[in-house]
Amino acid sequence: MRKVSLIASVICAVCIIIPFMGGISFGMAQQGQRLTPQKAIAAARRNALTPGSSFSVLKKIVANDDTRRIGDQALEQARTHKVKLYESGILADLLRSGGFLLAETKPRTNNVIAFHLISLGSDGVPKDSLEPCHGVVKLADAKELVKDTTEFAEALYSTPASEASSLESRFYGGSFPECGPSKECDQFAIPSSLLKLGADQSEYREVVALFGGLQLLGFRYAASMPVFAASPLAATQATEEKWETLQAEFLRSNHMAPDFDFDLENIRSKEQLRERIDVLRRLDKFMEAALMNEANPALVKANITVATICLGVGIYDGLEEGQMLYGSGTASLLVFYWQRLRTGGFAVKIISEAG
């Protein structure tokens, strides 16, 4: 399936995998050790970008017995397979001991200058993963976008391709965006070449929803892997190999060419459009069955908890001249670009992936 690269500057923390220096300890934090908001802020203050900054809690992550077990399992998988940890294993630490996402702001302007993801290491010492803020973002906007990013990412992880049309209302203008010939289409964009076919709008929406939902299935599959919290990148790379194997199996069992191109931009008629919808429906059913057959619900639930955390927010140039979009990234390598609504709030403009 077509891979989509990032169309603008990427929030660094989303796409950089940092090697873990030294050995991995799998012992739990000392009994009774708890990360309070006060301790989290104290840790962030020691790592502040600017002296005298203020700190606000944007999100609290709560651990339990299930998540602690899954966090330990992720670190063990990383050690066994020599996988480089994401940000020194902070996502696994969040599953093991919980934590907080904080905003560092300038007191007088209330502009966000950095985001701090705080958790306890296995030694009970707070660990801070810092992401500077790109552009001028007000604290109130950051709070709203962190919430919107988490909620939308959770919807993506819980929505199969067959139901992805329900996501359309969350996009700017209440519909999937159109993608012209000179632009690189994201997961849910309708190629302009399709619109020239004169088909029913319902067919356009369905084929785009199926295609986009199937591309995002790889992210959902990655969240079913035990190593995910240690390294989303390693899980995603393993998912790509699994995807290719399953897709080849689907093509063989349906007597289709092994190099069949699923891309929407090669559809040239209404008949081909309807045939593609049928193929994508069957592919979705096949892939969903494979995912459900292998997925551990408790593991997936825990991994989604950290996969959907918004690591930071910034402002970036849009695709159109003079357009500015708010960008937000998650540890799952998904990146969202948001357009401010005239009525207030934000709507999704583009979904992409870090790369």
Question: pLDDT tens for residues 52-75?
Answer: 999 999 999 999 999 999 999 999
Give percent of the chain above pLDDT 90.
Answer: 74
Residue 26 has a pLDDT of: 42
The b-or-e profile of 29-54 (16+ CB within 10 A means b, else e) is beeeeebeeeebbebbbeebeeeebb
Higher pLDDT, 184 or 231: 231
If you average pLDDT over residues 195-209, what whole number do you get?
A: 93
Residue 353 has a pLDDT of: 82
**Would you place residue 28 in the very low, low, confident or very high pLDDT band (cuts 50, 70, 90)?**
very low
3-state secondary structure of 137: strand
Residue 20 has a pLDDT of: 30
Identity at 191, one-letter amino acid code: P
pLDDT at 131 over 70: yes
Give percent of the chain above pLDDT 70.
Answer: 88
Q: List % helix, strand, coil for the chain (3-state, nearest 5).
A: 45, 20, 35
Residue 321 has a pLDDT of: 63
pLDDT at 24 over 70: no
**Strand partners of residue 328:** 313, 336
Distance CA 2, CA 307 (A): 22
pLDDT at 255 over 90: yes
**Would you place residue 323 in the very low, low, confident or very high pLDDT band (cuts 50, 70, 90)?**
confident
3-state secondary structure of 106: coil
- Report the alpha-carbon angle 193-281-307, nearest 5: 90
**Would you place residue 320 in the very low, low, confident or very high pLDDT band (cuts 50, 70, 90)?**
low
Stated pTM of the model: 0.86
Residue 181 has a pLDDT of: 67
Report the interhelical angle of 201-222 vs 139-158 (nearest 10°): 90
Nearest to 41 by CA among 87, 121, 124, 99: 99
- Report the alpha-carbon angle 199-202-206, nearest 5: 105
Distance CA 152, CA 5 (A): 20
If you average pLDDT over residues 323-328, what whole number do you get?
A: 92
Residue 333 has a pLDDT of: 86
